[in-house]
């Protein structure tokens, strides 16, 4: 019976074994692909969601994203670390929503719920024609979604991308954030140039698990903060944007709990 590691990394196994000789790569593999995660990825392979894991795209304290292969295309595999450190940087509103939506209280169960939540929100965004990675499936702490990029690599974060037309960028952000608010009825809550990919002159919203419904009491302030982040970013690049104008353009006046009727 093949080992889970051989199933996850079939053709790439020799390359990974070579990398294991290097301290950093060995640490990376050991951190993310513990026995439980290897078994989870193996089950996703058996379900036909991916064929193999290729290499890391980005890693952080909460988790990492890896490129995977599926037939003749690529997919992204996002793996959340299982442990309490994953939630130390979560905003209070996001943790509150997660606890409200799930009955679990242990850290492992919350991470599984968080993974499921990101999959669900990505689906809502896709249904609303918001440009975000298409979700393909999830299991435990592993999420499989669309890979934004090509054979040469993943799309850069907006913060690191070269943008030629700032007016077009502003219109693109208004369109995507506006669809998220007006059509998906969601507010991202942690939106910045670090949580947007820039691919083929289009914005792709990512890291959406902390998003809240647009009627959430915290939604107006969260959206205002998201918009202010981008207004400052665009102004810094040379395209002055008034936050109030930006907020109106994405439908900020429609966000918040419905007014009470006397």
Q: 85-94, 178-187, 188-197: which range is least confident on average?
A: 85-94
Cα 55 to chain centroid distance, Å, stands at 18
* Least confident window among 71-75, 136-140, 256-260: 256-260
Angle in degrees, CA 232, 237, 238, rounded to 5: 100
DSSP string, 146-176: E--EETTEEPPBGGGS--S-HHHHHHHHHHH
Give percent of the chain with pLDDT exceeding 70. Answer: 82
Query: Is the confidence at residue 103, as pLDDT, over 60?
Result: yes
Closest by Cα among 34, 65, 71 to 52: 71
Q: For residues 134 and 112, what is the distance between their CA atoms, to the nearest angstrom? A: 19
CATH architecture of 155-254: Orthogonal Bundle (1.10)
Q: How confident is the model at residue 27 (pLDDT cuts 50, 70, 90)?
A: low
pLDDT band at 5 (very low <50, low <70, confident <90, very high): low
CA-atom Rg of the chain in angstroms: 19
Highest mean pLDDT among 18-22, 83-87, 96-100, 169-173 belongs to 169-173
Q: Which of 190, 201, 253, 262 is catalytic?
A: 190
- Round to the nearest angstrom and report the end-to-end CA distance of the chain: 69
Task: Find the mean pLDDT for residues 141-145.
Answer: 97
Percent of the chain with pLDDT over 90: 66
Per-domain residue ranges of the chain = 25-150, 155-254
- The active-site residue out of 54, 183, 207, 226 is 207
Query: What is the mean pLDDT of the segment spanning 95-102?
Result: 74
Residue 261 has pLDDT above 50, yes or no: no
Main-chain dihedrals φ then ψ at residue 236, nearest 5 degrees: -65, -35
User: How far is CA 23 from its chain centroid?
Assistant: 28
CA–CA separation, 64 vs 57, rounded Å?
8
pTM summary value: 0.86
Residue 82 has pLDDT above 90, yes or no: no
In 3D, which of 69, 63, 54 has the Cα closest to residue 85? 63
> Which pair of structure tokens corresponds to residue 183?
């059509």
pLDDT-based confidence at 36, cuts 50/70/90?
A: confident
Residue 127 designated active-site: no
Report how far Cα 37 is from the mean position of its chain's Cα atoms: 19
Q: How far apart, in whole angstroms, are the C-alpha atoms of residue 9 and residue 136?
A: 20
Which CATH fold topology does 25-150 show?
Answer: Phosphorylase Kinase; domain 1 (3.30.200)
What's the mean pLDDT in 218-235? 95
40-78 pLDDT, tens digit per residue, is 999 999 999 999 998 889 887 778 999 999 999 999 999
Do 104 and 113 form a contact (C-beta atoms < 8 A)? Answer: yes
The dihedral region occupied by 82, where left means phi > 0, alpha psi between -120 and 50, and beta the remainder, is beta
Active site residue 201: no
Same fold, 25-150 and 155-254: no
More confident residue, 8 or 91: 91
Lookup: tokens for 13: 């196994």
Q: Map tokens 């792709």 to a residue.
A: 204
SS3 65: strand
pLDDT of residue 84: 59
């Amino acid at each position: 019976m093949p080992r889970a590691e051989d199933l996850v990394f079939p053709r790439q196994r020799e390359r990974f074994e070579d990398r294991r000789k290097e301290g950093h790569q060995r640490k990376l593999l050991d951190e993310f692909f513990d026995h439980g995660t290897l078994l989870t990825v193996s089950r996703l392979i058996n379900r036909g969601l991916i064929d193999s894991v290729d290499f890391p795209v980005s890693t952080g304290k909460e988790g990492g994203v890896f490129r995977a292969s599926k037939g003749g295309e690529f997919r992204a595999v996002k793996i959340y670390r299982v442990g309490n450190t994953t939630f130390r940087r979560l905003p209070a509103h996001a943790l509150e929503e997660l606890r409200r939506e799930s009955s679990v209280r242990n850290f492992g169960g919350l991470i599984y719920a968080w993974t499921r939540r990101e999959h669900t929100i990505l689906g809502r965004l896709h249904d609303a024609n918001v440009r975000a990675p298409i979700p393909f499936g999830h299991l435990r702490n592993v999420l499989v979604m669309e890979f934004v990029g090509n054979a040469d690599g993943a799309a850069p974060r907006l913060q690191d991308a070269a943008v030629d037309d700032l007016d077009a960028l502003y219109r693109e952000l208004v369109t995507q954030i506006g669809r998220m608010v007006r059509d998906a009825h969601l507010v991202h809550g942690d939106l910045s140039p670090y949580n947007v990919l820039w691919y083929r002159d289009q914005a792709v919203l990512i890291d959406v698990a902390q998003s809240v419904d647009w009627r959430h009491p915290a939604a107006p302030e969260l959206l205002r903060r998201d918009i202010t982040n981008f207004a400052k970013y665009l102004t810094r690049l040379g395209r002055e944007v008034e936050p109030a104008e930006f907020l109106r353009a994405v439908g900020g006046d429609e966000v918040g709990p419905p007014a009470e009727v006397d």
